[in-house]
Each structure stands twice: as structure tokens, then as C-alpha cells.
Chain A
Amino acid sequence: MHVPDGFLDAPTSLATAGVAAAGIAIALRGARREVDDRIAPLAGLVATFVFATQMLNFPVAGGTSGHLMGGALAAVLVGPYTGLLCLTVVLAVQSLLFADGGITALGTNVVLMGVVTVVAGYLAFRGVQLVLPKRLSMVAPAAAIGALVSVVLSAATFVGLYAVGGAVPIPLDTLLTAMVGVHVLIGIGEAVITFLVVASIVAVRPDLVHGARRVLAVRTLETRVAA
């Protein structure tokens, strides 16, 4: 969903760049609490993995493709603040080195595929986690639901931005239906990939997964009580 230059007018692009900058500033502060000796190398891995996976467009419906956005995945694995920093690096490298996503649209892309997917994905993940049983086996399904929600909200946010500063007048309900429709399908792909990756890491080293920490804490307490 990399927005190219020209889809949104200059004032809107400036505004999204401001929101992106504010989001990155908050993430830089918040990441201090998340980044320790264990998380730091993992963040590099997560960013690299998201970059690689974003190259893998999978077909969704009749001549359309989509790829992982990765915001929910990164937030669950390394925490939302560090996750946003990972996504920002990926999007900046894509824009500046590979001409994937515009340069004046970089702020827009950081908002859509960074801020929105990380915040929406993580909140949905935490919400689902509160409802589901506190078990390690529930971390990956919760992450998958967060992933689906994050992609659909990201697409809806694009429509909101287009409503403010779109280049060509388009009936907004048509645009919303089209964007959300195709991104529900892409979101299912995102959910499957997120599930597989989170489940794999939870299987070998659950202590490395940020989103599994609370569950692990509960489990340790139960073990102590039982012993």
C-alpha cells in the first residue's frame, strides 16, 4: 500500500509528515523502556524480516496483490515503540533507495503503515489477549487478529486522508468500499503470516516475544503457587 507522490496534495502530505515525526519522537522516548540487551538485536531482525516479507506480494483477487505491512507483527514481537522504529526504517529505506513509495509521501506512508498499523494492531492484540485465556498458545491468534484489524484500519485511514487532500475528486463511499474490500483480503494474508511467525518464535523462545511477557509472568506465578 505504499502511497506514491502525487496522490495527496502538498498540505496533506506536510500534515502527515508532522504526525509521522511526532509518532517517531514518541517512539524514540518509549523505546527506552523496551530496548534492552535482548530486544536490541531482535529489533534488527524484525525490521529486516518485515523488509524481506514486504517484497513478497501474494495474489488476492482477480489481478490484485498485497503484501505484509508488518506493524502488528513488529509491535507484538518487540513492543509498539520499538516496532514503530523498525517500520520507519523499512519505509525510509524503501522510499529513498528503492523508489517504493514517494519521498514527499514518506510521512503519509509512515502514518499509514507505521503509526496506524502499530497502534491499531497492538491495541487490538492487547484487547483480544484480555478476553482469551492467558495461555502461550493464545499469543499468536491474538496477534493474527491484531494484524487483520491493522490492515483494514490502515486502508480506511488512507480514505480519510484522501477525503482531505486527494488529487482527483472520487466519490468517497466508492473509494472506502473498494479500499476496505481489497484490504480485508490482504489483511487475511497478513493475519496468516503474523500467526505463523509469532507462533514459531513463541514455540522456541517465548521469553523473546514482547507480547508473551504478561502470559509468561502469569505462568511463572502459577508454577510457584503449585510448587
Chain B
Amino acid sequence: MNATTTRRVSTRTVLVAGLLVALVLAGVVSLWASASPDGLNRVAGDLGFSGAEQASGAQDGPLAGYEVAGVDSRWSGGLAGVIGCLVVLACTSALMLLRKRSAPRTDGGE
């Protein structure tokens, strides 16, 4: 009856394809991202409160500003993007694992 059961793309395929897209976006496509100030920074500049900005406490970190310290500037931005993706993936997955474990157990599963 249901057409989706006959030629169904597996969840694993969706996940792997999605992650590959994310890595390519962060690692490669990001090199062509616009360097213009974003909406808030532009408005802050135009209306004269951008001077109130203070340097972040994370400003001296090894990945600050999406640049990897000590890596050639050609590769630095893309590498920072890939590292960021992996860190976000790891943190979110860990959080979801905690969520599931603390949830009441249900029978079965996959």
C-alpha cells in the first residue's frame, strides 16, 4: 500500500549524506562566504554603538575568529569549520545520549 516502504532511503544514508553536506559547507563553501559585516554589526556601525563592543574572553583561543592558530591562512578557515562541526556533533550526540538514558525505558527498540 504505502510507497515509502518499497524504496525507502535508510536513516543511515540520510545521516551520512547530511553530515557530508555539512562538512563540505563548513570546510569548503565557507571560503566564499561574504566578509561584509552582518546585520547587527552593520546597524551598530551605522547608529554608532559598535564602539561598545568588548573583546571576548575567548579571543586568544586557538580557534578564535574561525582561524586555526599556526595553520596557513588558505586552509585555516575550512579546517576550523570542520573542527567546529565535529565538536558540535560530539556535544549534541552526548547530550542526546544523556536525554535518552534518563528517559523512562521502553520495551523493544531497534
Which A residues lie at the B interface, using CB under 8 A?
1-7, 28, 31-32, 35-49, 51-53, 55-60, 63-67, 82, 85-86, 89-90, 92-103, 155, 158, 166-168, 170, 174-175, 178-179, 182-183, 186, 201, 204-208, 223, 227
Contact = CB atoms under 8 A, between A and B. Distances in A.
Given A97-B63, A170-B48, A32 B84 contact: no
Contacts of B52: 6-7, 167-168
B71 interface: no
Given A32-B99, A43-B93, A52-B22, 13 more contacts: A3-B40, A4-B53, A6-B54, A36-B100, A51-B85, A52-B21, A97-B58, A98-B65, A98-B80, A103-B57, A170-B49, A178-B46, A208-B11
B102 interface: yes
A55 B66 contact: yes
Nearest to A207: B4
Contact of B88 (A48, A158, A178): A48
Contacts of B26: 51-52, 55
Interface of B: 1-2, 4, 8-9, 11, 14-15, 18-19, 21-23, 25-26, 29-30, 33-40, 42-44, 46-49, 51-59, 61, 63-66, 80-81, 84-85, 87-89, 91-93, 95-97, 99-100, 102-103, 109-110
30 contacts: A1-B40, A4-B54, A4-B56, A5-B54, A6-B53, A36-B100, A40-B93, A40-B100, A43-B96, A44-B96, A45-B18, A52-B22, A52-B84, A52-B85, A55-B25, A55-B84, A56-B29, A58-B33, A65-B33, A65-B37, A67-B33, A93-B87, A93-B91, A94-B84, A96-B61, A97-B87, A158-B40, A168-B51, A205-B11, A223-B2
Contacts, number: 221
A157 to B, nearest CB: 12
Contacts of B56: 4-5, 95, 99, 101-103
B23 A89 contact: no
